Amino acid sequence: MRIHRSFRWLAVIVWVGFIWFMSSHSVPPGDPIGKVADIIRTIPVQLTLPGTSVEFMVGKAGHLLAYSLLGVLLLAATWGRLKNRVLGVMLIGVMVAVIDETRQYFVPGREAAVRDVVIDAVGLAIGIIIALSLRKAYLTRLAQGEAFCSSRQ
């Protein structure tokens, strides 16, 4: 089933809105990052990098996940040659990340960091790779199905 392109762009807009909504607030005590960090601390294996906290790692994992999904949604919403689409998705996604970090500069209790834009760009790349892998698998199965259908006739 094909989804109309305007619905794909609506999904992108809603997701960007969600990202910006989440970054528009100061981090309250007992926030979700802290709750996830408490669960991770019960694991007997060290899951952090030297010099970082569990909260830091959970927050950066959130960046990766959010921007990976944005990469998938943007790739689905765009059209044109694949190379141009990938570059366009990266450009749009990094612009969203830069705007988000700039907005965070003005939110009490938040900070703007170039590091976060880099992490967001990595998340976008992961999302693009996932989307392209799924697309390739779908096209391969579709081609196999067409070959099967044409051989039965």
pLDDT of residue 45: 59
What global pTM score does this model have? 0.78
Q: Annotate 12-45 with DSSP letters as a single string.
A: HHHHHHHHHHHTTS---TT-HHHHHHHHHHTSSS
- List of the chain residues with pLDDT < 50: none
Tell me which residue has tokens 């830069």. 98
pLDDT of residue 49: 56
* Alpha-helical regions (H) of 78-113: 82-105
Closest CA to 69 of 124, 10, 6, 115: 124
71 neighbors 93 (Cβ within 8 angstroms): yes
pLDDT of residue 25: 74
Closest CA to 64 of 105, 115, 139: 115
Structural domain spans, the chain:
5-152
Kindly report, residue by residue over 67-84, the tens digit of the pLDDT. 999 999 999 898 778 788
47 neighbors 54 (Cβ within 8 angstroms): yes
